[in-house]
């Protein structure tokens, strides 16, 4: 019954429509109708492309077939963020054009976004398919191993790895010298240029390998992706050479509580600076919002420019800074904080028991194993995965949000759904640095700060606790 009504409705719609257009422009009218009612009249159903094999976790390189019936072409992207858009029935405004039934090879964690293009140049619904990889332990006696490219390949005794193939050792080949699997590892690799930084991530491809046919090490493989930042312009007014001078001290080694003396000193320094502060430069203040500043012409006093109040607050030493900065903390959900890349500063000197590049305290905060360099056993240590934007706790890449990081630049954020862990979002790179304790606060003050002249810092309002 409903179907009948629909047919009758469409009929009258057509009659009504045709009757209002001038007969001389009938072809225009038909064209419009054809487009508007295409699905019902011509039977072309616009659906998201199907992918085969389906999205999921795999242990070897996959050839993914994209199919969209009725589509003239498919546009797809693999950067994980760009939505494919058709320009014409066969070309893309965003993405790469592919015939329906065409294939895309996937060897590292990749999100394929695909959509069909139709005769009217419209873009169909988008399919989003995430392929991740984990390492199976290949049982190999001979032949080519189609393992996920970053996984270590071990050949059985009597076989030697060449590229991704285990070849039987020749009986007379004594001179080679027990090379085993390492003999064919690449000694040199060059890469293409990095792609533009999108959502805190950029990628590149392996251009050349030396010697030819060699096997990429896991570090060489994973180095095709990294976390990144959009470069910010330098500030000619400010002394950028901030690493010569250290802030006063890291404080006592195990105390996170500022001493009474430092509280009195803080009050005195803030009072003195208030007196010395002259006309406020709002432009300068805004530019330095969220930064930690070091007064390089004095004894390296550190200040935090609170982005909310646009006032500066004195940070006497590590423990004092740790306590003080937490007061500016903004609560954040765990589901949001993971969208901000973790920052690593190689000059930080903090205990790293398993030598994977992540300090113990940081590992506690992100849930990796502080006694195990490769928490998820995928052949890449935790530090390498964080630095390159991969998940150290499992398969797949981390998905970042530049817009969220931008909003939080310079802020202190607190994980209110966990144990109140505090992080400083460095306004320079949009990455979060873990404020574990006074020691971590000191390292941040020392290495993520900006030197500033007395003349300039005294154009920024001194806050009141
Ligand atoms: Ca570690
Ligand atoms: Ca670890
Ligand atoms: Ca790992």
Highest mean pLDDT among 166-180, 186-200, 241-255: 186-200
CA of 374 from ligand 3 middle (Å) equals 4
Beta-carbon count within 10 A of 163 CB: 17
CA of 360 from ligand 2 middle (Å) equals 8
Q: 26 in a domain, yes or no?
A: no
Give percent above pLDDT 70 in the chain: 74
**Could you write out the DSSP letters of every residue in 247-268?**
PS---STT--SPPHHHHHHHHH
CA of 272 from ligand 1 middle (Å) equals 42
Q: 328 in a domain, yes or no?
A: yes
Ligand sitting nearest the alpha carbon of 366: 2
CA of 364 from ligand 2 middle (Å) equals 9
Kindly report whether the peptide bond that precedes residue 460 is cis, defined as omega within 30 degrees of 0: no
Of the three residues 107, 133, 159, the one that is the final residue of a domain is: 133
Sign of CA dihedral 252, 256, 260, 265: positive
Of the three residues 133, 162, 196, the one that is the final residue of a domain is: 133
**What pLDDT is stored for residue 141 in this prediction?**
56
CA of 265 from ligand 1 middle (Å) equals 36
> Scanning the structure block, which residue is given the tokens 């190999």?
140
Residues 426 and 337 in one domain: yes
Ligand sitting nearest the alpha carbon of 352: 1
Residues 293 and 424 in one domain: yes
**Could you write out the DSSP letters of every residue in 353-399?**
TT-SSS-HHHHHHHT--TT-SSTT-SSS-HHHHHHHTB-TTSSSBPP
CA of 386 from ligand 2 middle (Å) equals 11
24/329 Cα distance (integer angstroms): 70
Compute the residue count for the chain: 465
Ligand sitting nearest the alpha carbon of 354: 1
**Could you write out the DSSP letters of every residue in 76-88?**
EE-BSSPPPEESS
Q: Note the pLDDT tens digit of each residue in 179-190.
A: 344 447 888 899
Q: Give yes or no for residue 93 having a pLDDT over 70.
A: yes
Q: Note the pLDDT tens digit of each residue in 163-176.
A: 666 677 765 433 33
**What pLDDT is stored for residue 446 in this prediction?**
87
Ligand sitting nearest the alpha carbon of 361: 1
Q: 316 in a domain, yes or no?
A: yes
**What pLDDT is stored for residue 154 in this prediction?**
65
Number of independent structural domains in the chain: 3
**What pLDDT is stored for residue 250 in this prediction?**
63
> Scanning the structure block, which residue is given the tokens 């400010």?
238
Ligand sitting nearest the alpha carbon of 374: 3
Give percent above pLDDT 90 in the chain: 49
Q: What's the average model confidence in pLDDT over 247-264? A: 61
**What pLDDT is stored for residue 41 in this prediction?**
39
CA of 46 from ligand 2 middle (Å) equals 47
CA of 220 from ligand 1 middle (Å) equals 20
Residues 264 and 299 in one domain: yes
CA of 359 from ligand 2 middle (Å) equals 8
Residues 154 and 193 in one domain: yes
**What pLDDT is stored for residue 200 in this prediction?**
82
Q: Which of 25-29, 145-149, 244-248 has the lowest mean pLDDT?
A: 25-29
Q: What's the average model confidence in pLDDT over 403-424? A: 94
Q: pLDDT-derived band of residue 134, with 50, 70 and 90 as boundaries?
A: low
Q: 354 in a domain, yes or no?
A: no
Q: 426 in a domain, yes or no?
A: yes
Residues 308 and 444 in one domain: yes
Residues 302 and 248 in one domain: yes
Confirm if 323 and 329 have CB atoms less than 8 A apart. Answer: no
**What pLDDT is stored for residue 298 in this prediction?**
81
Q: Give yes or no for residue 213 having a pLDDT over 90.
A: no
Strands 432-435 and 422-425: antiparallel
> Scanning the structure block, which residue is given the tokens 């240029």?
193
**What pLDDT is stored for residue 424 in this prediction?**
97
CA of 373 from ligand 2 middle (Å) equals 4
| Residue ranges making up the domain that contains 218 | 143-227
Residues 415 and 337 in one domain: yes
316/257 Cα distance (integer angstroms): 12
Ligand sitting nearest the alpha carbon of 135: 3
For the record, the structure tokens of 441 come out as 């606060």
Q: What is the mean pLDDT of the chain?
A: 80
CA of 447 from ligand 2 middle (Å) equals 23
Q: Note the pLDDT tens digit of each residue in 260-292.
A: 667 788 888 899 999 999 999 999 999 999 999
CA of 242 from ligand 1 middle (Å) equals 27
CA of 62 from ligand 2 middle (Å) equals 29
3-state secondary structure 39-75: HHHHCCCCCCCEEECCCEEECCCEEEEEECCCCCEEE
Q: pLDDT-derived band of residue 369, with 50, 70 and 90 as boundaries?
A: very high
Residues 220 and 261 in one domain: no
Q: Give yes or no for residue 47 having a pLDDT over 60.
A: yes
Residues 317 and 427 in one domain: yes
CA of 109 from ligand 3 middle (Å) equals 13
Is the model more confident about 222 or about 351? Answer: 351
CA of 233 from ligand 1 middle (Å) equals 33
Q: Give yes or no for residue 72 having a pLDDT over 60.
A: yes
Q: 371 in a domain, yes or no?
A: no
Of the three residues 227, 255, 284, the one that is the final residue of a domain is: 227
60 backbone φψ class: left, alpha, beta (φ>0; ψ -120 to 50): beta
Residues 329 and 425 in one domain: yes
Q: Note the pLDDT tens digit of each residue in 428-442.
A: 999 999 999 999 999
CA of 339 from ligand 3 middle (Å) equals 19
306/429 Cα distance (integer angstroms): 17
For the record, the structure tokens of 43 come out as 């039977």
Q: 90 in a domain, yes or no?
A: yes
Burial 188-213 (b: 16+ CB within 10 A, else e): ebeeeeeeebbbbbbbeebeebeeee
CA of 81 from ligand 3 middle (Å) equals 24
Helix (H, G, I), strand (E, B) or coil at 318: helix
Q: Torsion over CA of 96, 100, 101 and 103, rounded to 10 degrees?
A: 0
Residues 289 and 429 in one domain: yes
92/115 Cα distance (integer angstroms): 10
Q: 19 in a domain, yes or no?
A: no
101 backbone φψ class: left, alpha, beta (φ>0; ψ -120 to 50): left
Sign of CA dihedral 243, 248, 254, 260: negative
CA of 381 from ligand 1 middle (Å) equals 9
Residues 176 and 156 in one domain: yes
């Amino acid at each position: 019954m409903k179907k009948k009504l629909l047919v009758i409705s469409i009929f009258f719609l057509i009659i009504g429509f045709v009757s209002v257009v001038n007969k001389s422009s009938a072809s225009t009218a038909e064209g419009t109708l054809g487009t508007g009612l295409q699905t019902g009249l011509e039977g072309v159903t616009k659906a998201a492309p199907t992918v085969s094999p389906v999205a999921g976790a795999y242990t070897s390189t996959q050839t993914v077939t994209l199919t969209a019936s009725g589509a003239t072409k498919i546009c797809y992207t693999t950067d994980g963020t760009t939505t494919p858009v058709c320009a014409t029935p066969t070309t893309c405004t965003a993405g790469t054009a592919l015939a329906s039934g065409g294939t895309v090879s996937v060897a590292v964690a990749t999100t394929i976004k695909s959509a069909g293009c139709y005769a009217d140049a419209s873009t169909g619904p988008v399919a989003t398919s995430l392929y991740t990889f984990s390492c199976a332990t290949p049982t190999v006696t001979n032949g080519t191993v189609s393992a996920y490219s970053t996984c270590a390949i071990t050949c059985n005794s009597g076989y030697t790895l060449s590229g991704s193939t285990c070849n039987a050792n020749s009986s007379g080949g004594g001179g080679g010298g027990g090379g085993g699997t390492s003999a064919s590892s690449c000694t040199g690799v060059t890469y293409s240029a990095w792609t533009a930084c999108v959502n805190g991530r950029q990628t590149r491809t392996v251009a050349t390998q030396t010697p030819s046919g060699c096997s990429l090490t896991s570090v060489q493989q994973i180095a095709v992706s990294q976390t990144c930042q959009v470069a910010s312009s330098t500030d000619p007014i400010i002394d950028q050479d901030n690493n010569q001078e250290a802030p006063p001290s890291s404080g006592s080694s195990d105390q996170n509580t500022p001493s009474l003396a430092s509280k009195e000193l803080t009050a005195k320094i803030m009072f003195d600076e208030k007196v010395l502060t002259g006309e406020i430069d709002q432009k300068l203040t805004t530019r330095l919002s969220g930064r930690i500043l070091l007064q390089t012409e004095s004894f390296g006093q550190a200040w935090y420019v609170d982005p909310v109040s646009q006032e500066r607050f004195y940070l006497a030493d590590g423990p004092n800074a740790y306590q003080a900065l937490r007061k500016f903390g903004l609560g954040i959900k765990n589901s949001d904080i993971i969208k901000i890349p973790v920052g690593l500063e190689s000059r930080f000197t903090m205990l790293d028991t398993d030598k994977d590049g992540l300090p113990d305290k940081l590992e506690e905060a992100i849930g990796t194993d502080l006694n195990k360099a490769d928490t998820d056993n995928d052949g890449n240590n935790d530090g390498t995965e964080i630095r390159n934007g991969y998940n150290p706790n499992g398969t797949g890449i981390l998905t970042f949000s530049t817009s969220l990081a931008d909003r939080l630049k310079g802020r202190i954020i607190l994980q209110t759904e966990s144990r109140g862990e505090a992080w400083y979002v460095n306004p320079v790179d949009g990455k979060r640095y873990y404020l574990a304790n006074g020691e971590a606060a000191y390292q941040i003050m020392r290495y993520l700060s900006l030197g500033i002249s007395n003349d300039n810092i005294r154009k920024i309002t001194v806050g009141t606790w």
